């Protein structure tokens, strides 16, 4: 099976990191087409995954854009569609990994008569999308996609409630390679020394700086915690959200937290940084479609405190209620942070259990096996292509994990 993957971003966000793991088994028979250049291209090249930048500049359409912006973008869109149609003739399936990729992929699928798969990495709701983009995504997926891969049950439910076809929608969680989340004690100690928080209880927050990611909630919670509790923020502001990053810096000064907070920006050494933390905080104030940082923290065997909304709730199977807190509630968040500090042996026990469970549920090979089966169904049912699975497995009725 030959796959043409499409992704709008040159930046390595959650959807892009998920795509890397899915594309790896198809290295010798796939191409990743990007709509903008950036670090994501380099990550694909490092994994020896064929990649090509298909546009000279990013599409000027955002999640909150309306019809007027969409019409103005046609000058960019049409040449891109034409290029994808040309490329798709060499492949069996078009795999749209993002919303803008869905628009391009749907038109290319219609013109080239290649089946389309849409990987839905978002909660399709008014909290995240304009009514125009919401309607467009559902309409295109219903009309042109042979299958929709929703990154969680929460994402699937939102898609169906917005009018999406349930019979073509399957839950496909992100896959991870557990061996990439191992870190030795020497690395951890080196990172702790570099952070200059000796003897402190360290909370890590790993996400781009964005209002809905809720970094301000953690600052408000930290102000309610003892002074020996500190925080690092790992991630940069993207997509025009620099004003929020500046607001966070000012808020640190207003709360008197200058000696307890570090903003580290974008970092590639995520695993050592996570392992150096005593706990990881996830503070999104709107429902997450999945919550990669929660799984990554569990794979690093770090205790997690997460906002109880969206796909994150599905990641928790331990029955430990203390690590889920209401979104946007700094008092509850502070209470759990203090609990973790005073009961570190207890938190390490369930962190160890969470690591074992996450290695089983979200292992890359398990997810890729599911994806291979679903793609095989697409080719067999919709286009009658001869398909090849990178990991042949018996066909099963269930496509849900």
11-47 pLDDT, tens digit per residue, is 898 999 999 999 999 999 999 999 999 999 999 999 9
DSSP 8-state symbol, 256: T
**In a domain? residue 389:** no
Better-predicted residue by pLDDT, 253 or 63: 253
**In a domain? residue 88:** yes
Q: Is the pLDDT of residue 150 over 60?
A: yes
pLDDT at 385: 40
**229 plus 333 within the same structural domain:** yes
Q: Is the pLDDT of residue 319 over 90?
A: no
pLDDT at 58: 60
**In a domain? residue 395:** no
H-type alpha helices, 60-129: 67-72, 74-88, 99-112
**273 plus 169 within the same structural domain:** no
**22 plus 103 within the same structural domain:** yes
Residue 235 is part of a domain; what is its CATH number? 3.40.50.2000
pLDDT band, very low/low/confident/very high, at 329 (cuts 50, 70, 90): very high
- The crossing angle, in degrees rounded to 10, of helices 242-254 and 215-222 is 0
**184 plus 327 within the same structural domain:** yes
- Mean of per-residue pLDDT scores for the chain: 88
**186 plus 228 within the same structural domain:** yes
Mean pLDDT of 291-319: 89
- Strand, coil or helix: 201: strand
Greatest mean pLDDT range, 123-132, 145-154, 188-197:
145-154
Q: Is the pLDDT of residue 191 over 60?
A: yes
Mean pLDDT of 116-138: 89
pLDDT at 151: 97
Q: For 37-65, what is each residue's pLDDT tens digit?
A: 999 999 999 999 999 999 876 655 454 44
**In a domain? residue 53:** yes
Better-predicted residue by pLDDT, 128 or 190: 190
Q: Is the pLDDT of residue 342 over 50?
A: yes
Q: Are 304 and 358 in contact (CB under 8 A)?
A: no
Q: For 211-233, what is each residue's pLDDT tens digit?
A: 999 999 999 999 999 999 999 99
**CA-based radius of gyration for the chain:** 21
Q: For 93-119, what is each residue's pLDDT tens digit?
A: 999 999 999 999 999 999 999 999 999
Q: Is the pLDDT of residue 74 over 90?
A: no
pLDDT at 83: 95
pLDDT at 10: 87
Percent of the chain with pLDDT over 90: 75
**158 plus 262 within the same structural domain:** no
pLDDT band, very low/low/confident/very high, at 129 (cuts 50, 70, 90): confident
**23 plus 67 within the same structural domain:** yes
pLDDT at 122: 94
pLDDT at 240: 76
**212 plus 342 within the same structural domain:** yes
**357 plus 261 within the same structural domain:** yes
**29 plus 140 within the same structural domain:** yes
pLDDT band, very low/low/confident/very high, at 162 (cuts 50, 70, 90): very high
- Strand, coil or helix: 184: coil
Q: Is the pLDDT of residue 239 over 90?
A: no
H-type alpha helices, 173-269: 185-195, 215-222, 242-254
**337 plus 376 within the same structural domain:** no
**263 plus 357 within the same structural domain:** yes
pLDDT at 301: 94
pLDDT at 238: 78
pLDDT at 339: 94
Q: Cβ contacts of residue 128 below 8 Å, gap of 6+?
A: 63, 122, 212, 286
Q: For 378-401, what is each residue's pLDDT tens digit?
A: 988 755 443 333 443 333 333 333
Owning domain of residue 184: 178-361
Q: Tally the domains of the chain.
A: 2
**In a domain? residue 392:** no
**In a domain? residue 315:** yes
Q: Are 71 and 63 in contact (CB under 8 A)?
A: no
Tell me which residue of 291, 225, 293 sits closest to 257, measured CA to CA.
225
pLDDT at 57: 65
pLDDT at 170: 98
Query: CA–CA separation, 299 vs 293, rounded Å?
Result: 10
């Amino acid at each position: 099976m030959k796959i043409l993957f499409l992704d709008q971003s040159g930046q390595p966000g959650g959807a892009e990191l998920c795509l890397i793991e899915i594309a790896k088994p198809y290295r010798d028979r796939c191409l990743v087409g990007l709509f903008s250049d950036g670090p994501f291209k380099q990550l694909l090249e490092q994994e020896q995954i064929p990649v090509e930048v298909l546009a000279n500049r990013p599409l000027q359409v955002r999640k909150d854009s309306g019809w007027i912006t969409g019409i103005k973008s046609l000058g960019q869109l049409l040449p891109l569609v034409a290029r994808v149609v040309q490329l798709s003739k060499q492949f069996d399936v078009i795999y749209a990994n993002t919303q803008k990729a869905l628009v391009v992929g749907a038109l290319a699928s219609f013109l080239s008569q290649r089946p389309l798969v849409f990987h839905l990495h978002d909660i399709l709701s008014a909290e995240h999308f304009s009514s125009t983009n919401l309607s467009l995504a559902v309409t295109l997926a219903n009309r042109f996609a042979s299958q929709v891969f929703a990154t969680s049950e929460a994402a699937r439910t939102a898609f169906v409630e917005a009018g999406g076809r349930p019979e073509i929608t399957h839950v496909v969680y992100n896959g991870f390679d557990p061996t990439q989340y191992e870190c030795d004690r020497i690395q951890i100690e080196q990172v702790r020394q570099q952070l200059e928080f000796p003897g402190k209880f360290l909370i890590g927050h790993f996400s781009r700086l964005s209002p809905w990611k809720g970094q301000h909630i953690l600052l408000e919670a930290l102000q309610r915690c003892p002074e020996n509790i500190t925080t690092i923020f790992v991630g940069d502001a993207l997509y025009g959200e620099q004003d929020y990053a500046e607001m966070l810096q000012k808020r640190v000064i207003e709360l008197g937290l200058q000696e307890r907070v570090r903003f580290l920006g974008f970092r590639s050494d995520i695993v050592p940084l996570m392992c150096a933390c005593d706990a990881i905080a996830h503070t999104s104030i709107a429902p997450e479609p999945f919550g990669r940082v929660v799984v990554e923290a569990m794979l690093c065997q770090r205790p997690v405190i997460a906002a109880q909304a969206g796909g994150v709730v599905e990641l928790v199977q331990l029955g430990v209620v203390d690590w889920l807190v209401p979104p946007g509630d700094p008092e509850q968040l502070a209470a759990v942070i203090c609990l973790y500090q005073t009961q570190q042996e207890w938190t390490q026990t369930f962190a160890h259990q969470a690591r074992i469970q996450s290695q089983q549920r979200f292992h890359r090979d398990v997810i890729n096996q599911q994806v291979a089966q679903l793609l095989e169904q697409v080719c067999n049912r919709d286009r009658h292509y001869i398909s090849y699975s990178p990991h042949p497995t018996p066909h099963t009725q269930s496509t849900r994990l």
